[in-house]
Chains A and B, each alone.
Chain A
């Protein structure tokens, strides 16, 4: 795959507006903040979600009737939210930087 150089456009849609490949260029300092905090969010969301899921299902040992459905749903939602925040954050990148998600920062330097 040819590496896509930054075209100078602030944002670019690779394959039209409906594809999920939108990229947004932000200053380096902002990129760092996005990376750090979105990762933090994803971790907290996933850990908290599994903890909630555990307590709702009594560590997956509860009978179906004893499962706290609301709490379980909140747990799943928390995991999804964490994952969503992380996935969303992958569209941001700093100037002159390939998108890690698409492997743009790694050319094929033949070994």
Chain B
């Protein structure tokens, strides 16, 4: 057995027996010349192989099981909303981490330091306006995409057996997304934030039995102040990121194992 690999790149032989026009032939020859030197296709094949090996989808999907060959539903644009929310989440995480270098969660000062820092980011900091805008927009997009993703899952029946657990995790995730939004909304500590916080305190207080306890826990008191901002900040940049990232990982992991549901 020869160690020499059979040359799959000898194209002259088959090209001779084909009825190729001169243009076609020179086209193929020049692309193959490139192919031999820049082995892009080989690397792509490597990725393709990796993709199929890492596809752990457990139960075959209905179309695969019965070899139905109608995979058109796979391309329904609405099936990408979950991924779209994930992208928005990642963008918000990265831009938020960068904003964290300039923001300070403090109410001290004639105008609160937090507000001053937001003004600084928006007016003086290079690319600050862009950075905060990206953060805000990705947050808005994520909320919208998550909601539409939920609608899609509901109306295609994707929550049905055996995917009940993932639906419940999704409910938790959409709630936490809104908590993310609310805590972030309070951070600039402007009038909008402050009175939104006031509404939050009063909503907490209106809950029977545990209302006062909940208001104390979440807002650090019954009137807004430094403890409120501090708690919103820690929730926004420390608590929620870990919880939500972990839940998203589990959520996507389950989709990975169970496969994408087909319309019911």
- B-binding residues in A (CB < 8 A): 10-11, 24-27, 29-30, 32-34, 36-38, 40, 88-89, 91-92, 107, 109, 111
Q: Mark B11-27, 1 if CB is under 8 A from A, else 0.
A: 10010011110011001
**What A residues does B70 contact at CB under 8 A?**
109, 111
**What A residues does B94 contact at CB under 8 A?**
none
- What is the distance, in angstroms, from A10's C-beta to the closest C-beta of chain B? 5
- Report yes or no: B31 in contact with A38, Cβ–Cβ below 8 A: yes
B contacts with A: majority SS: helix
Report the bound CA distance from A40 to B11 in whole Å: 22
- Report yes or no: B17 in contact with A33, Cβ–Cβ below 8 A: no
- Report yes or no: B69 in contact with A33, Cβ–Cβ below 8 A: no
- What is the distance, in angstroms, from B68's C-beta to the closest C-beta of chain A? 7
Given A88-B27, A109-B69, answer yes or no on A11-B20 (Cβ-Cβ < 8 Å).
yes
- Report yes or no: A32 in contact with B20, Cβ–Cβ below 8 A: no
CB nearest neighbor in A for B34: A37
- Kindly count the residue-residue contacts between A and B in the assembled complex, taking CB atoms under 8 Å apart: 50
B32 within 8 A of A: yes
- Report yes or no: B18 in contact with A24, Cβ–Cβ below 8 A: yes
- Report yes or no: A36 in contact with B41, Cβ–Cβ below 8 A: yes
Report the bound CA distance from A36 to B68 in whole Å: 29
B217 within 8 A of A: no
- What is the distance, in angstroms, from B174's C-beta to the closest C-beta of chain A? 31
Give 5 nearest A-B pairs by CB, closest first: A33-B35, A37-B31, A109-B70, A32-B41, A10-B18
Report the bound CA distance from A11 to B24 in whole Å: 11
B40 within 8 A of A: yes
B4 within 8 A of A: no
Given A10-B19, A109-B68, A109-B70, answer yes or no on A27-B31 (Cβ-Cβ < 8 Å).
no
- Report yes or no: A30 in contact with B11, Cβ–Cβ below 8 A: yes
- Report yes or no: B41 in contact with A24, Cβ–Cβ below 8 A: no
- Report yes or no: B20 in contact with A33, Cβ–Cβ below 8 A: no
5 residue pairs A–B, Cβ–Cβ below 8 Å: A11-B18, A33-B31, A36-B41, A37-B35, A88-B27
- What is the distance, in angstroms, from A86's C-beta to the closest C-beta of chain B? 12
- What is the distance, in angstroms, from A93's C-beta to the closest C-beta of chain B? 13
**Max chain B C-beta neighbours (<10 A), residue from A24, A30, A88:** A30
- Report yes or no: B28 in contact with A26, Cβ–Cβ below 8 A: yes
- Report yes or no: A11 in contact with B19, Cβ–Cβ below 8 A: yes
CB nearest neighbor in A for B69: A109
- What is the distance, in angstroms, from A19's C-beta to the closest C-beta of chain B? 14
B161 within 8 A of A: no
Report the bound CA distance from A36 to B42 in whole Å: 11
